[in-house]
Amino acid sequence: MSSRANPRYPKHVPIRLFDTLTQSSVDFVPRVPGQVGIYVCGPTVQSAPHIGHLRSALAYDLWRRWFTYRGLNVTLVRNVTDIDDKILAVATGEEWWALAYRIEDEFRANAAALGIQAPTYEPRATGHIGEMHGLIALLIERGHAYAATDGSGDVYFDVQSWPDYGQLTRQSPDAMVDDAAAPDRGKRDPRDFALWKGRKNDEPATASWESPWGAGRPGWHIECSAMATKYLGESFDIHGGGLDLRFPHHENELAQSRAAGHGFANTWLHNGLVTVAGQKMSKSIGNVILAADILRENDPLTVRYFLAASHYRSVMDVHDGSLAEAKAAWDRIRGFLERAAAHVSPAEVPAAFAAAMDDDLSVPAALAVLHDAVRAGNTALESGNAAETAARASEVAAMVDVLGLTPGAETDGNAYRDALGTLIERLLAERHAARERKDWAVADRIRDDFESAGIVLEDGTDHTRWSING
């Protein structure tokens, strides 16, 4: 997003976040003044990304953009789980690592199409085996993990050794179900979860690394604890991810990291899930909406608007007509900006918009402010009130920029828009001069040139508005 001249983090108006760990709204206080460290669980790359993956990635892109707008320097880490039981299970006909890379590449392309900024760091699990070994060894040393004695090579976290286990999801360990992802090989307790999985004979040798406990591969949960610590330190500001990751993944991350003596995340954020016509997305039902499909069938900015329009913590439902509704709303904004492009100048977002975003990223309330400004701007345009048009158009442009609805606007986008606007205004001035001297042939030729370029002119009593058709 575009950089601004001065930091905008007013201490008297804090950013509020809903912390899943405490189940309460809290003021955001950076561990390091002026900086924010965020770790987000990225995709497990075993199958084509779907709309839920896009929604989660966009939620933290919006958080990142708002923190940046408020003048904070954001470090965003989003991992890639590229080794996992599911990846090995579905990799038929190609190497597991080739499948993982292909799906990772597809996810990254889908995210880029929506204008989701690339994370500061995007570590792969397979690139951090050494860090995982170090963390596992520390847990064993502190008495919170143990190597199985059955020769399997497995290493488990000892749930009973950590009294705070269950604090994230407010569960008693006695009431928890067993960790289905951890085979019952040499475990002391069914609830213990795998930190290291000894190699199985039916798994490819390439999916195995040597370790102090024998050849094998990491458990899912240890990956994120190790990578978050490497890139953000033993304590950092925010851990984010989908609501479906709270248990067991995030619960286990929190337990093993705190048991290792790390402060880990100060605040936990969780984005809501996606339903389709009121039903949970499921391959068995056949209602999974693939990211590639929704992007192929809709303008990417319409999809971005749709995914952003629901509060990030709410359930977002996709139903017949939902994308059409989003398109109509986004087209009203885009249409106004195109008509008023010549009036736009750098501006701050309105106070009401900022207040909504400060309140746990309340994008629905922020969009209400945006649409009010669009309505006021259109009224000003119709009445020929240039000052009011300029004020509202500049505010709308600032809000749209913060929401990432002009991807790339910080570089080529603004230059392109400014150059186009300059050329159009020059031609409009030439056409106006031709009409003043009653040179209708030149005036009509200029109008025809505009029409052939897809630019529509609307002549008013004292001015001419232009917009791009389509």
pLDDT digits 0-9 by tens, 290-306: 999 999 999 999 999 99
pLDDT at 422: 58
- Assigned domain for 321 exists: no
Q: CATH number of the domain at 152, please.
A: 3.40.50.620
pLDDT at 282: 82
> Confidence class of residue 458 from pLDDT cuts 50, 70 and 90?
confident
Last-in-domain residue among 236, 270, 292? 292
* Residues 73, 263, 142: CA angle, nearest 5 degrees: 145
pLDDT at 424: 74
- Assigned domain for 121 exists: yes
Q: CATH number of the domain at 380, please.
A: 1.20.120.640
Work out the average pLDDT over 9-24. Answer: 83
Q: Tokens at residue 401, please?
A: 């920029």
Last-in-domain residue among 230, 260, 292? 292
Work out the average pLDDT over 330-336. Answer: 95
- Assigned domain for 6 exists: no
For the stretch 121-152, pLDDT in tens is 999 999 999 999 999 999 999 999 999 988 88
> Confidence class of residue 325 from pLDDT cuts 50, 70 and 90?
very high
User: Number of structural domains, the chain?
Assistant: 3
CA–CA dist 8, 104 (Å, integer): 35
Q: Which residues contact 414 (CB under 8 A, 6 or more apart)?
A: 2
Do 287 and 205 meet the contact criterion of CB atoms below 8 Å apart?
Answer: no
pLDDT at 184: 61
Q: Are residues 399 and 436 located together in one domain of the fold?
A: no
pLDDT at 460: 65
Q: Are residues 374 and 343 located together in one domain of the fold?
A: yes
Residue 256, pLDDT above cutoff 60: yes
Last-in-domain residue among 236, 261, 292? 292
pLDDT at 399: 97
- Assigned domain for 418 exists: no
Q: Are residues 215 and 77 located together in one domain of the fold?
A: yes
Work out the average pLDDT over 162-167. Answer: 94
Range list of H helices, 124-280: 129-141, 220-232, 251-259
Work out the average pLDDT over 275-293. Answer: 88
3-state helix, strand, coil in the chain (%, to 5): 45, 15, 35
- Assigned domain for 299 exists: no
CA separation, residue 184 to residues 150, 179, 197 (Å): 11, 9, 11
pLDDT at 302: 95
Residue 120, pLDDT above cutoff 60: yes
Residue 417, pLDDT above cutoff 80: no
Q: Where is mean pLDDT largest: 26-30, 319-323, 406-410? A: 26-30
pLDDT at 462: 56
> Confidence class of residue 448 from pLDDT cuts 50, 70 and 90?
confident
Q: Name the pairing type of β-strands 24-27 and 35-40.
A: unpaired
**Mutual orientation of helices 363-383 and 322-339 as an angle, nearest 10°?**
40
Work out the average pLDDT over 339-343. Answer: 91
Residue 414, pLDDT above cutoff 50: no
Do 209 and 129 meet the contact criterion of CB atoms below 8 Å apart?
Answer: yes
Q: Tokens at residue 179, please?
A: 């960790």
pLDDT at 183: 54
Predicted TM-score of the model (pTM): 0.82
Phi, psi of 74 (to 5 degrees): -100, 130
> Confidence class of residue 173 from pLDDT cuts 50, 70 and 90?
confident
Q: Are residues 449 and 375 located together in one domain of the fold?
A: no
Q: Are residues 67 and 129 located together in one domain of the fold?
A: yes
- Assigned domain for 306 exists: no
Q: Are residues 98 and 225 located together in one domain of the fold?
A: yes
Taking all residues of the chain, what is their mean pLDDT, rounded to a whole number?
88
pLDDT at 454: 66
Q: Are residues 368 and 439 located together in one domain of the fold?
A: no
Phi, psi of 168 (to 5 degrees): -70, -40
pLDDT at 352: 97
Q: Are residues 157 and 196 located together in one domain of the fold?
A: yes
pLDDT at 431: 84
Q: Are residues 263 and 349 located together in one domain of the fold?
A: no
- Assigned domain for 263 exists: yes
Q: Are residues 255 and 337 located together in one domain of the fold?
A: no
Residue 390, pLDDT above cutoff 90: yes
Q: Are residues 281 and 380 located together in one domain of the fold?
A: no
- Assigned domain for 305 exists: no
pLDDT at 359: 97
Q: Are residues 115 and 242 located together in one domain of the fold?
A: yes
> 180 is in which domain, residue-wise?
16-292
> Confidence class of residue 409 from pLDDT cuts 50, 70 and 90?
very low
Q: Tokens at residue 322, please?
A: 């939902």
